[in-house]
Structure 1
């Protein structure tokens, strides 16, 4: 009997909380057009891709309407710092951490040709995924190879 009464009180309090919560400002804020516009402006991609054969004027980015383009690194070390370090600095996505000799030993033993191929074309292994060119598709192959050489040098 006591347990039944406690359950009834708990259900009643739960129902009361739901009723009170349903009449909050959240519903009004979410339906506000200005709020929705601001949220979409904050979460939209910073740039749009320019597709061959289409009007390049539509590929605008940022609030100023100018395209945001990362500067092309001048050498493999700069490419590593700008791109590769995002994953290899922390070991994100199963990437071997830069400078971790144990994690790199087996990969280095396979040879630089294999490392170059995985870096240029991408790789999906047991530990994780390597996107082609680390996701920096505009980087020249030679620059990617220099970045691989830099990481190998760090791990030796």
Structure 2
């Protein structure tokens, strides 16, 4: 039985192809997280995606993310929803919406944003 959030995640992921997410120029742009998503990232994703020993693709490691992104949105969506290898379903983010999960994945698959201090100078 499909849960509504699973259907929502699949729908959002299917829409990624229509928005041009896979374009090279867009993939090279950093993604910024708002305060809420930054907190979620710190409590869930960061645990594995900043530790090479886990086997998870490291956040902002474009070479590690490239083959995963090449698998397509349907495969990534399945991995996000159901978990994959050591990744738990939903990355243990039960409070995340489909859009949250996509934004977090895009954040990790993109170059690191420049620090706020650098932008102020």
Q: TM-score, normalised by structure 2?
A: 0.53
Q: 1:78 to 1:113 in 2, by over 3 A?
A: farther
Measure, in 2, the Cα distance between the counterparts of 1:78 and 1:154. Answer: 19
Deviation at 1:90, TM superposition (A): 1.1
Structure 1 residue 107 displacement after superposition: 0.4
Aligned to 1:133: 90
CA distance in 2, matches of 1:121, 1:97: 20
Q: Which of structures 1 and 2 has the larger relative contact order (alpha carbons within 8 angstroms, sep 6+)?
A: 2
CA offsets per residue over residues 6-54 of structure 1, 9 Å max, x none? xxxxxxxxxxxxxxxxxxxxxxxxxxxxxxxxxxxxxxxxxxxxxxxxx
1:110 is the counterpart of 2:71: yes
User: Which consecutive unaligned segments of at least 5 residues does structure 2 have?
Assistant: 1-34, 113-121
Number of aligned residue pairs: give it: 78
- Structure number with bigger Rg: 1
Gapped runs of 5+ residues in structure 1?
1-72
Greater Cα shift, 110-119 or 84-93: 110-119
Q: CA deviation at 1:101?
A: 2.1
Aligned-CA RMSD value:
2.2
**TM-score, with length taken from structure 1:** 0.43
